[in-house]
Structure 1
Amino acid sequence: MLSRLQDQLQAYRENPDPLAQLANTIALVIAGNQPFYPLYLYAIVGQAAWPSWLTLLTFPLFAVIPAVARRNPLAGRLMLPVVGVANTVLAVKLVGLDTAVELFLLPCVLLSTILFRQTEKRAMAAALACPFAAYFMLDAAVGSPLATYSAAEYRSIINMHVFSVASLFALIGFAFPADTKQA
């Protein structure tokens, strides 16, 4: 049964466009890991982690990216960094800038550049505008977080976010296709 589920997930991830398949891979790994984020925060701060459960609101958006990419590879590729930015902005509102959660905008910048071909400069520019605009508007746009933490808790949360962002960069590099020409 587990093997069958794995085969179905693999088939869902598949795309003849190698860059769309990269986006699909990253999106599904994020979707699969998203439920653990509130649990990690709970391990650090206990009940004060309750706002982080709201980050699961973006789970369906990450999960649907392969379906979108199947119909329109460019739209699926564009969707990943945009959804990543939306998830990050939501997380900033929930747990605050002091947790360094805005660092997740960095993989969005990277994805906004590597998911597009040289002939897709407009899509790349649109995708790139999102994390930069979000970064410059975060303070004014989101206001106070729904939760605050002690200095020691902030340090632990920041460490978790830094490690998570570094892991995401490693995944992107590991999954990047050797040949990005469309099949």
Structure 2
Amino acid sequence: MSLIARFNDAMAALKAYAHHPDPRVATANFFALLVASNQPFYPLYVYWTVGPEIGPTAWTFLSTPFFLAVPALSRWNTLVGRAMLPVAGIANTLLSAKVFGVASGVEIFLVPCAVLALLIFRPHERWIAAFPLAGVCFLAYFVLHGAYGAPFHLYSEAQYAALLRLNMMSAGGLTAFTALSFSTLLAEAEAAGSGKAAGGGIARD
């Protein structure tokens, strides 16, 4: 089997693993696998932008199994599966803040975690999942910022500036992609509603 064929098979398997009949759940699954697939490249990003001291990045891999488990959990319970996405993200962010120090700006990842928590749950699920998880993001920053103690590795001022830029760009890109994905999901729902209305009078939920 050729390398291209194997790659296509792997992509098909990942797509099947992330698939779910509920578009909101499928989107959460996709984001979980996206983050997990990007984590192996984070040491390279740090190497290229910060320097050769990439040892501390190994700690970020502790969260990878939890991101990978999101689609499997969603098949068992969609609420638990979706909740695992921001939970894994929050845990990874807090651990990274301890590992790298708050000067790295890694706490900015609490923003996309909060945004995801507010978007992946339906209105009737907000008080049991969305609001508490988003609240944890804000509470973690206000309570833990400056209270992590000494980081596992101290970088120079220039290296921390580079880490800050890297994390700001990564978190900003993830937040923007989250907004774009859910905007597309909303547009598809509106198009489907318009189709129902045109085909059968007033569309009802």
TM over 0.5: yes
Alignment correspondent of 1:130: 136
Please give the secondary structure, in 2, of the residue aligned with 1:144: coil
Q: CA deviation at 1:108?
A: 0.7
Counterpart Cα distance in 1 of 2:45 and 2:76: 35
Partner Cα distance (1:23, 1:108) in 2 = 12
Kept in 2, the 8 Å contact 1:26–1:171? The answer is no
Distance 2:66 2:77 in 1: 15
User: How many residue pairs get matched?
Assistant: 181
Q: Secondary structure at the match of 1:28?
A: helix
Q: Give the aligned partner of residue 105 of structure 2.
A: 100
User: Aligned AA for 2:165?
Assistant: N
Contact 2:98 2:151 (8 Å CA) reproduced: yes
| Partner Cα separation in structure 2 for residue 9 and residue 2 of structure 1 | 11
Partner secondary structure for residue 121 of structure 2: coil
SS of the residue corresponding to residue 54 of structure 2 reads: helix
Note if contact 1:112-1:128 (Cα within 8 Å) is conserved in structure 2.
yes
Establish whether residue 26 from structure 1 lines up as the match of residue 18 from structure 2.
no
Q: Is the 8 A contact 2:43 2:54 kept in 1?
A: yes
Please, which runs of 5 or more residues in structure 1 have no aligned partner? none
Rg comparison, structure with higher value: 2
Q: Which amino acid aligns with 1:7?
A: A
Distance (Å, rounded) in 2 between the aligned partners of 1:4 and 1:87: 30
Q: Which residue of 2 aligns with 1:44?
A: 49
State the structure with bigger RCO (CA 8 A, min sep 6), 1 or 2. 1
Partner of 2:155: 149
CA distance in 2, matches of 1:106, 1:32: 20
Q: Post-superposition shift, 1:88?
A: 0.1
- Between the aligned partners of 1:167 and 1:88, the Cα distance in structure 2 is 16
Residue number among 55, 60, 76 corresponding to 2:60 in the alignment: 55
Residues of 1 paired with 2:131 and 2:176: CA distance? 24
Say which of 71, 75, 87 aligns to 1:70: 75
- TM-aligned CA deviation for residue 139 of structure 1: 3.2
Counterpart AA for 2:152: L
Q: CA RMSD in A?
A: 1.8
- Residues 106 and 164, structure 2, Cα contact 8 Å, conserved in 1: yes
More deviation, 77-86/171-180: 171-180
Q: Report deviation, 1:47.
A: 3.9
- The C-alpha deviation readout for 1:14-68, integer Å capped at 9, x for no partner, is 1111111111111101000001112211223434321111110110010110110
Matched, 1:162 2:168: yes
Shift of 1:103: 0.2
Question: SS of 1:156's equivalent?
Answer: helix
Describe how 1:69-88 pairs up with structure 2 within 5 A. Answer: 69-88=74-93
Identity of aligned residues (%): 40
Alpha-carbon deviation of 1:170?
Answer: 2.3
